[in-house]
Amino acid sequence: MKNVLFVASECVPFIKTGGLADVVGSLPKNFDKDRFDCRVILPKYLCIDQKWKDQMEYVDHFYMDFYGASRYVGILKLEYEDIMYYFIDNEFYFNGPRPYGDMLWDIEKFTFFSRAALSALPVIGFQPDIVHCHDWQTGVVPVYLKDSFRGGEFYWNMKSVMTIHNLKFQGVWDYKTIQSITGLSDYYFVPDKLKDYENGNLLKGGITYADKVTTVSNTYASEIQSEFYGEGLDGLMRARQNDLWGIVNGIDYDLYNPKKDKFLVANYDVDNFRKEKIKNKKALQKELGLAEDPKCMMIGIVSRLTSQKGLDLIDRVMDEICQDAIQIVVLGMGEEQYENMFRHFAWKYSDKVSANIYYSEEMSHKIYASCDAFLMPSLFEPCGLSQLMSLRYGTVPIVRETGGLKDTVEAYNEYENKGTGFSFTNYNAHEMMGAIRYAEKIFYDRKRDWNRIVDRAMMADFSWKKSAEIYEQLYDLL
């Protein structure tokens, strides 16, 4: 039996801002329980819903020297779906309405959390063989394991895995400040360790000192070794390429299940989608005030509205696309320019475009189930979960071939009758439009071929079970 500890800044169902929370919440449940005892440790944020706080059980507390003061570290626990979750309590650090805010404060807060999580292990009596760290917030954990936690029987043989969910976010500040917060010696603040020009970089530390490094798709693992995608760390990623694994994320196949989804007007599966799926489309057209035409091709976009997601490509050709027999439904919030862009097109083409500038779990499920196609033209995409959900719901993805999108969507080939979606290669608005128009052509002129694409999409397996098996292989090497 191997003991594994996940150290992370967020996790469903307790606290979520993005895909990281889905990974940390879903992966531990899918490991072989006879071979792995996997537990999770998180900050006890003030903004965690009260219903979870009411179920937490006090374990113990202690005081820890950190950043020039003696700090309180409380430990609470909660068992949920057969997984034990621990929460590090300190109201000075984990107050506020959101998990993240000011970068300097976040660096101090998550360095405290990283140190406290390791310090709490003898207190809770759990000795992991592998400490699995997620993103820059826990980047200092592998460094501490090779530094101040190295001595003594309890920690000496612990191995660490560092998972990069998005290389863009690295936990960077001037190195003098990071050195004083972490308490690490000058030895670590050189260019081949934590120093990044005049800055300290927590993620760089984690990548340098972890025994293995993973990222969330095979293609992204090779992309980040190039200058364009490497975010300044491409040299380090090349240096660690023998220890770098790309393991694609999964989605929760119980939660995202068109057969049982309580948000849908009509449930369906791969056998009856031809009859039932369209009922969701009609209901959504009515709800959003679009032209009620079940035969019209409907394209969905559920996304953070940021430049990473390729929205400038959509802006460039939206007027042209809206001349076609299509409808576009958008859900999400983000950068003001993109929020206003979609509002503008919804005003200009009111019977064709619906801009829902907010986020709602219920509306996202309705869009995945109602639309015919799903557009995701990302500039870069470490893994992406939206295309996996759209495949699950038989909504054909139209994606750019980057990162996880390339790994999970097989491009349609009309000559061999293969593929689960449509894709384009270069970051170019007219190439994207070409892919959309090709999808329209198949949808309108070759309905039987379109339905076969939907069949294959719904049969694809991107459940967590598959990903968990690859992580287990990785753990077995350590």
Whether residue 234 sits in one domain with residue 314? no
pTM of the model: 0.93
> Above 90 in pLDDT, residue 152?
no
Residues 100, 234: one domain?
yes
Nearest partner of 73 among 41, 102, 104, 99, judged by Cα: 41
Give the model confidence (pLDDT) of 127-145 as tens digits: 999 999 999 999 999 999 9
Which stretch of 110-114, 146-150, 241-245, 346-350 has the lowest confidence by average pLDDT?
146-150
What is the DSSP code (8-state) at residue 232?
Answer: T
Q: Is residue 261 included in any domain, yes or no?
A: no
Structure tokens that stand for 429 in this block: 């608005």
Same domain, 244 and 304: no
Cβ neighbour number for residue 366 with a 10 Å cutoff: 24
Please answer whether residues 303 and 332 qualify as being in contact, where contact means their C-beta atoms are separated by less than 8 angstroms: yes
Same domain assignment for residues 307 and 195: no
Predicted pLDDT at 17: 86
Does residue 235 belong to any structural domain of this protein? yes
Q: Residue 256: inside a domain, yes or no?
A: no
Q: Are residues 99 and 138 in the same domain?
A: yes
Please check whether residues 287 and 405 belong to one and the same domain. yes
Average of per-residue pLDDT across 358-380: 96
Match 């050709």 to its residue by tokens. Answer: 317
How open is the CA angle 13-18-22, to the nearest 5 degrees? 45
**Structure tokens, 296:** 């019209």
Question: Which pLDDT score is estimated for 19?
Answer: 83
What's the pLDDT at 173?
A: 97
Question: Quick one: 405 and 422 in the same domain?
Answer: yes
The reported pLDDT for the residue numbered 18 is 81
Q: Which domain holds residue 415?
A: 273-461
46 and 125 together in one domain = yes
Domain contains 376: yes
Average pLDDT of the segment spanning 173-188: 97
Together in a domain, 363 and 382: yes
In this structure, the answer to whether residues 192 and 278 fall within a common structural domain is no
State whether 244 and 282 are in the same domain.
no
How do 195-196 and 199-201 pair as beta strands? antiparallel
Q: What values do phi and psi take at 28, rounded to 5?
A: -55, -30
Could you tell me if residue 257 is inside a domain?
Answer: no
Residue of 12, 9, 7 whose CA lies nearest to 385 = 12
DSSP string, 412-448: PBTTTTB-SBEEE-SS-HHHHHHHHHHHHHHHHH-HH
pLDDT tens profile 84-97: 999 999 999 999 99
pLDDT at 54 over 90: yes
Q: Please give the tally of structural domains in the chain.
A: 2
Assess whether pLDDT exceeds 90 at residue 151. no
Q: pLDDT class for 351, splitting at 50, 70, 90?
A: very high
Measure Cα distances from 362 to 132, 156, 365, 400 in Å: 32, 47, 5, 26
Coil/strand/helix, residue 341: helix
**Residue 22 belongs to domain with CATH number:** 3.40.50.2000
At 416-445, the pLDDT tens digits run 999 999 999 999 999 999 999 999 999 999
Q: Are strands 159-164 and 130-134 parallel, antiparallel or unpaired?
A: parallel
On whether residue 199 sits in a domain, the answer given is: yes
Instruction: Look over the chain and give the mean of its residue pLDDT values, rounded to a whole number.
Output: 96
Strands (E), 212-350: 212-215, 244-246, 297-302, 326-331
Residue 244's pLDDT is: 98
> Is residue 290 one of the residues assigned to a domain?
yes
Residue carrying the six token digits 């006090």: 58
Q: Which two tokens stand for residue 324?
A: 């076609």
Same domain, 35 and 124: yes
Angle between helices 202-209 and 103-124 (to 10 degrees): 40
Is 386 inside a domain boundary? yes
